[in-house]
Amino acid sequence: MKVIRAKSAGFCWGVERAIDIAREYATQGKRPVFTDGPLIHNSQMMEKLESEGIREVGDYLSQTSLNLGLGESERRRAVMVVRAHGISPERRAYLKSLELEFRDATCPDVGTIAGRIKLHARKGYTTVIFGDPKHPEVIGLMGYTEGRGHVIKNEADIDALPPLGEKVCMVSQSTMFTFEFEHLAEYLKRAYPGAVVFNTICGATRERQSDVLVLADEGAEAIVVIGGRHSANTVKLAALVERQSLPCYHVETAAELDLSQLGKYKVVGVTAGASTPGFLIDEVCEKLALL
């Protein structure tokens, strides 16, 4: 079997930065290093980080109160690292109230989105966010809207919005489809012609989505997408493969590969979400190459 590996497969720079920040503290002897919810959306990588002294606390949405059970000496040595997806201002204030050393590992691209929302909210704008209302990134971004924020996923959601007034700002969760965002931005502007629109889908997401098309052009008969099932950008990659009318196999590890099915193909493409570590991609490619 010929295996074609997408050039963009694996960690984006924002995820790599968050991991490097947490690991830097761990190697300096900080114990424990806490992350508020999973640092990134990949359970295998989180297990590896835990073995290095980096401990996930809280929940997927970063909403629960934390009982860290630390003594005074441990508290002085511990550090709280904010996950790559970012958090709301309220969550930030809460984490800082724990009186641990605090380090923000929010992806700078997500930070830019928060900054745009914050700036316009202060000017009286209502914010419309294209994204998943239950995704940690969107929950964090909503915290910057000063109570004037709405999350939409489709035209029906836009139709259901209350009157927004004259000042409207639209942004996107960083991991959405560009073509869907552009369509919904045009749809929103029919009702609010003066809306200010910022396409905040990150470059890493766009690159990975483009590379799916490259794999198809290079002759891939099927595509394996590697990544966590909670990873928004990975799920989007799998959906994009299916839009190309290609068989899609979404797996988290090489152990999940359906070799009996994949063995039918002569050329298989492999891509991975922005939170997928390289060692998982290597294992999948090596296993496929043996077919």
* Residue positions annotated with a catalytic role: 137
> In whole angstroms, what is the distance from residue 62 CA to residue 58 CA?
6
Q: CA–CA separation, 91 vs 146, rounded Å?
A: 14
Strands 101-104 and 248-251: unpaired
What torsion do the CA atoms of 75, 89, 204, 60 make, to the nearest 10 degrees?
A: 60
What's the CA gap between 100 and 77, in Å, rounded? 8
The C-alpha atoms of residue 80 and residue 99 are separated, in whole angstroms, by 9
Cis peptide preceding 277, ω within 30 of 0: no
- The Cα–Cα gap between 228 and 44 comes to 9
Cα separation of the two ends of the chain: 6
Helix (H, G, I), strand (E, B) or coil at 39: coil
As given in the structure block, the two tokens for residue 273 are 């979400």
Structure-token match 């691209």, residue found: 109
Residue reference for tokens 């860290």: 68
The answer to whether the beta carbons of residues 237 and 209 sit under 8 Å apart is yes
* Cβ neighbour number for residue 188 with a 10 Å cutoff: 21
